[in-house]
């Protein structure tokens, strides 16, 4: 294995591990955060940073190949759609009158259940 | 008395069915006809006989064409049933024009407008390349139907309905069964059986398959959109 | 005998499927149930793809996780949200 390849593999491993870490943290946030807005925030981070860096790592592993173009297309799609979905969710919640959680209000922050 | 009659009738129907089931090869047994010769024939000669590189497409549209014809008819019937039920529940069926209670964000609108052509292109690709790669009429049609639904939600129904004009809508929704009828008749003229596919000039069978794929795709998309619009109508 | 990675993945997906199915049946809130059902479809889509049926996986992703959920939601918005 040449030095270049070793560096490439190491970078790919680092990227995939970073992505997995973000997924783990995002999922923890989805479970542990107190209200709708912060949960949406956690879930959206998962999708953009987590999936983005995992896919980038996979593209690095693939090397010069047509598949890399497909992976790049998937990354741009995810980067475009996931924040939009998060934005739409948060906006719909805000416009229908869901109050964000604060330490003072506490509880479920006016959650429906 | 009536109860006893019902039980006797049920038993009379159930007995032959159970006997027939008992005579069938055991579930998963290697002696089933599907495993002994049908699957091998499909895998060995499917690519040349069925007119499609993708064996799944060949099996669905050519070997098991009657099955798919029935399925497509069922899908169209589902749409018709939804229309019938929802049209019965209220006297007028005026579409709601008031819009959603929450005004839609310009960000969502922009992103959907940006992505819509790509989604449409992908749907078209899935339909056209169903012959050589995974995909086909059902899959592409569903993707296109989902696009119409997203457009309806985000940009509004008026604009989305331009994708499926009012007048030919019923014909478009029936495109699946109609394309099977047309291709089946062409097959009958060419080979003598309904839905028969000629082997020799491969281009003919391939173009018949393509016509079926497009019929299924257009029909499926319009049926999905039709059901969604019906549900949105004011009852 | 070491268990192969693919088998392990399959087993995990199947467990998730059963859990999702139970959750759908047990949930009284129809909105939550339809969202869980869409998660079920997503897992099912992975199972199809893992079993070598990408055609079916595509349909499952588009119909099961996408369109069916939308249709369920619009049906719920015409009726009531809680199961009685």
C5 within domain boundaries: no
Report yes or no: C70 at the B interface, CB cutoff 8 Å. yes
A19 within domain boundaries: yes
A54 within domain boundaries: yes
pLDDT at B115: 92
Q: Which of B101, B105, B115 comes nearest A80 by C-beta?
A: B115
Residue A43 lies in domain: 3-95
Mutation test of the interface with chain C: which of B132, B143, B157, B233, choosing the one with the most C Cβ atoms within 10 A? B143
Q: Which of C58, C59, C74 comes nearest B228 by C-beta?
A: C74
Which tokens belong to B158?
């008026």
Q: Which residue of chain B is at minimal alpha-carbon distance from A91?
A: B105
pLDDT at B39: 80
Q: Which residue of chain B is at minimal alpha-carbon distance from A94?
A: B102
Q: In sequence order, what are the beta bridge partners of C29?
A: C82
A89 within domain boundaries: yes
A18 within domain boundaries: yes
At A105, the pLDDT band (50, 70, 90 cuts) reads: low
C1 within domain boundaries: no
Query: Are the C-beta atoms of B137 and B214 separated by less than 8 Å?
Result: yes
Domain count, chain A: 1
A104 within domain boundaries: no
* C37 pLDDT above the threshold of 90: yes
Which tokens belong to A64?
């010069």
C36 within domain boundaries: yes
- Higher pLDDT: B175 or B96? It is B175
- In whole numbers, what is the pLDDT of chain C averaged over residues? 88
pLDDT at A97: 80
> Which chain A positions have a beta carbon within 8 Å of B108's beta carbon?
84, 87-88
pLDDT at B89: 57
Please name which of B164, B65, A20, B142 lies closest in space to residue C45, comparing C-alpha atoms. Answer: B142
Burial category of A46 from C-beta neighbours within 10 Å (exposed 0-12, middle 13-18, buried 19 and up) = buried
Domain count, chain C: 1
Report yes or no: B214 at the C interface, CB cutoff 8 Å. no
Provide the 8-state DSSP code for B194. T
Residue C35 lies in domain: 26-84
C53 within domain boundaries: yes
A101 within domain boundaries: no
Q: What CA–CA distance (Å, rounded) separates B34 from B41?
A: 10
Smallest CA–CA distance, residue A35 to chain B, in Å, is 20
Report yes or no: C79 at the B interface, CB cutoff 8 Å. no
Report yes or no: C58 at the B interface, CB cutoff 8 Å. yes
C8 within domain boundaries: no
Cβ-count burial B122-153 (b if 16+ within 10 Å, e if not):
bbeebbbbbbebbbbbbbbbbbbbbbbbbbbb
Report yes or no: B173 at the C interface, CB cutoff 8 Å. no
> Which chain B positions have a beta carbon within 8 Å of A87's beta carbon?
105, 107-108
Using one digit for the tens of pLDDT, what is the confidence trace for B167-215?
788 888 888 899 999 999 998 888 888 888 887 777 888 888 889 999 9
C3 within domain boundaries: no
**CA B120 and chain centroid, separation:** 18
Smallest CA–CA distance, residue C64 to chain B, in Å, is 10
**Interface contact flag, B111 A80, Cβ < 8 Å:** yes
> Which chain B positions have a beta carbon within 8 Å of C55's beta carbon?
56, 134-136, 139
* A113 pLDDT above the threshold of 50: no
């Amino acid at each position: 294995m040449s030095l270049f390849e070793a560096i490439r593999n190491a970078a790919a491993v680092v990227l995939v591990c970073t992505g997995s870490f973000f997924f783990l943290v995002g999922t923890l946030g989805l479970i542990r955060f107190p209200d709708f807005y912060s949960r949406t925030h956690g879930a959206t981070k998962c999708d953009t940073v987590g999936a983005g860096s995992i896919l980038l790592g996979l593209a690095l592993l693939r090397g010069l190949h047509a598949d890399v173009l497909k992976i790049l297309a998937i990354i741009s799609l995810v980067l475009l759609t996931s924040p939009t979905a998060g934005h739409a969710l948060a906006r719909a919640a805000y416009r229908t009158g869901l109050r964000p959680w604060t330490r003072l209000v506490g509880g479920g922050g006016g959650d429906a259940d | 008395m009536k109860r006893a009659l019902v039980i006797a009738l049920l038993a009379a129907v159930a007995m032959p069915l159970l006997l027939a089931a008992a005579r069938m090869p055991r579930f998963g047994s290697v002696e089933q006809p599907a495993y002994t010769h049908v699957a091998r024939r499909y895998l060995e000669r499917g690519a040349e006989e069925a007119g499609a590189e993708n064996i799944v497409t060949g099996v669905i549209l050519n070997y098991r064409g009657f099955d798919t014809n029935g399925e497509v008819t069922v899908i169209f019937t589902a749409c018709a049933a939804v229309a019938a039920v929802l049209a019965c529940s209220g006297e007028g069926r005026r579409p709601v024009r008031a819009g959603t209670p929450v005004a839609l964000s310009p960000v969502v609108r922009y992103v959907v407008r940006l992505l819509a052509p790509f989604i449409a292109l992908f749907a078209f690709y899935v339909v056209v390349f169903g012959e050589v790669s995974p995909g086909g009429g059902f899959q592409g049609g569903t993707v296109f139907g989902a696009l119409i639904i997203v457009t309806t939600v985000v940009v509004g129904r008026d604009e989305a309905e331009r994708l499926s004009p009012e007048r030919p809508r019923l014909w478009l929704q029936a495109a699946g069964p109609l394309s099977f009828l047309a291709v089946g008749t062409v097959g009958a003229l060419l080979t003598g059986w309904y839905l028969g596919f000629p082997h020799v000039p491969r281009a003919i069978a391939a173009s018949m398959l393509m016509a079926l794929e497009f019929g299924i795709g257009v029909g499926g998309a319009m049926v999905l959109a039709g059901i969604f619009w019906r549900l949105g109508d004011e009852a | 005998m070491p268990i192969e990675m693919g088998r392990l993945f399959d087993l995990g997906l199947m467990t998730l499927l059963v859990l999702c199915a139970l959750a759908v049946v047990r949930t009284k809130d129809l909105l939550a149930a339809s969202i869980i059902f869409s998660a079920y479809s997503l897992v099912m889509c992975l199972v199809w793809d893992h079993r070598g049926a990408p055609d079916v996986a595509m349909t499952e992703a588009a119909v099961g996780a996408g369109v069916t959920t939308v249709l369920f939601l619009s049906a719920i918005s015409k009726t009531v949200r809680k199961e009685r």
